[in-house]
C-alpha cells in the first residue's frame, strides 16, 4: 500500500517542480506580451471604430477577440517557443547522454519519471498562463483606451460585463487553452523522447517541436472554433 503512495508523491513533487520551471518562469514573457497585445488591439480597434462613432465598443471587441482567439492561441505559441523547446532539448539531451538508458537499466520507468511530470506541468500551466495573458491584455487595453485616449472607464467595464458571455466566450477560451496545453506538451515530450542521440538530432527535435506545435495549435483552433465554441 505504502509502495503505491510514494511514487505518486514523487510524481506530484516533480510535477510541481516542472510547473515552476516551465510555467512560472514563462510568466514574465507572457505578461509583457499580453500587455502590449491589449494595447495594440485597442489602438487598432479605436482607429476602426472611430469612423462609426463607436469607440465606446472597444472593450467589447478587445474582450471577445482576446478570450475567444488571441489569448489562447498567442499564449500557446509563446509557450511552445519558451517552454516546449526547453522540454524537448532537456529530454533530448538526457537521451543523448544515455541518462534515459541508465534509468531503464535501474528499472526506473523514464516515461513515468521524465515525460509524465513535464506533460502534466504543461497541461496545468498553459490555461493559467492564458488567464494571466488575458488579464494583462485587458489591463493594457484599459491603460490605452481609458488612460491615453480618454474613453470612459465605467463604459469600458460595463460593455465587458454585458457583452462578453461567461459560458460561450470565456469558458470556450479556457477549453481551448487546455487542449493547446496538452498538444504542445505532448509534442515537446514526444520529440525529446524520440530524438536521435546526437547534437544535430536534439536540434532537429527542438525545431520539430516548434513547427509542429505551431501548426497544430492553429489547426485545432479552427476545428474547435467551428465545432464546439
Partner 1 sequence: MRANYKVELASGIFLLLGIAALVWLATRATDYGQELGKETYSISARFTNIGDLRDRAPVKIGGVTVGLVESITLDAVSFEAIVEMSIAQRFDEIPSDTGASILTSGVLGDRYVGLEPGGAPDYLVEGDELFITQSAIVLEQIISKYLFNAGNADSSESNETE
Give me the residues that bind partner 1 (CB under 8 A), please. 13, 16-17, 19-21, 23-24, 27, 54, 63, 67, 124-125, 127-129, 131-132, 134-135, 138, 157, 160-166, 169-170, 174
* Least distance from partner 1 to the Cβ atom of residue 18, Å: 8
- 169 CB-contact burial (10 Å; exposed 0-12 / middle 13-18 / buried 19+): middle
Q: Are 108 and 9 in contact (CB under 8 A)?
A: no
C-beta neighbour count of 225 within 10 angstroms: 13
In the bound state with partner 1, the residue whose beta carbon lies nearer, of 148 and 171, is 171
**Which CB sits closer to partner 1, 69 or 169?**
169
Query: Considering the complex, what minimum distance in angstroms separates the CB of residue 51 from partner 1?
Result: 13
Looking at the Cβ atoms of 96 and 229, the one nearer to partner 1 is 229
> CB of 204: closest distance to partner 1 in angstroms?
31
Given a contact cutoff of 8 angstroms between Cβ atoms, the answer to whether 152 and 192 are in contact is no
Distance set, CA 44 to CA 9, 52, 134, 147 (Å):
49, 14, 17, 16
User: In the complex with partner 1, which residue's Cβ is closer, 136 or 205?
Assistant: 136
CB of 8 to partner 1, least distance (A): 15
Please say which residue, 17 or 225, places its beta carbon nearer to partner 1.
Answer: 17
Distance CA 57, CA 185 (A): 37
Closest CA to 56 of 148, 134, 153: 153
> What number of CA atoms fall less than 13 Å from residue 35's CA on the CB side?
6
Closer Cβ to partner 1, 36 or 157, answer by number: 157
Contact 163, 60 (CB under 8 A): yes
Rounded to the nearest whole angstrom, what is the least distance from the CB of residue 68 to partner 1 in the complex? 12
**What minimum distance in Å lies between the beta carbon of 95 and partner 1?**
24
Amino acid at each position: 500500500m505504502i509502495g503505491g503512495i510514494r511514487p505518486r508523491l514523487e510524481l506530484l513533487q516533480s510535477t510541481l517542480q516542472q510547473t515552476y520551471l516551465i510555467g512560472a518562469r514563462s510568466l514574465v514573457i507572457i505578461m509583457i506580451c499580453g500587455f502590449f497585445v491589449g494595447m495594440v488591439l485597442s489602438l487598432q480597434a479605436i482607429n476602426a471604430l472611430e469612423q462609426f462613432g463607436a469607440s465606446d465598443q472597444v472593450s467589447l471587441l478587445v474582450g471577445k477577440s482576446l478570450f475567444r482567439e488571441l489569448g489562447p492561441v498567442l499564449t500557446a505559441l509563446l509557450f511552445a517557443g519558451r517552454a516546449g523547446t526547453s522540454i524537448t532539448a532537456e529530454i533530448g539531451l538526457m537521451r543523448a547522454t544515455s541518462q534515459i538508458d541508465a534509468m531503464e537499466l535501474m528499472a526506473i520507468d523514464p516515461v513515468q519519471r521524465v515525460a509524465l511530470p513535464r506533460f502534466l506541468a504543461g497541461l496545468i500551466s498553459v490555461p493559467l498562463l492564458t488567464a494571466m495573458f488575458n488579464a494583462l491584455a485587458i489591463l493594457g487595453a484599459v491603460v490605452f483606451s481609458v488612460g491615453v485616449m480618454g474613453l470612459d472607464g465605467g463604459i469600458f467595464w460595463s460593455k465587458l460585463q454585458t457583452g462578453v458571455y461567461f459560458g460561450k466566450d470565456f469558458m470556450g477560451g479556457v477549453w481551448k487553452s487546455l487542449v493547446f496545453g496538452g498538444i504542445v506538451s505532448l509534442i515537446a515530450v514526444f520529440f525529446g523522447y524520440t530524438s536521435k542521440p546526437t547534437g544535430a538530432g536534439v536540434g532537429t527535435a527542438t525545431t520539430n517541436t516548434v513547427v509542429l506545435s505551431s501548426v497544430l495549435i492553429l489547426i485545432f483552433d479552427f476545428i474547435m472554433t467551428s465545432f464546439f465554441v
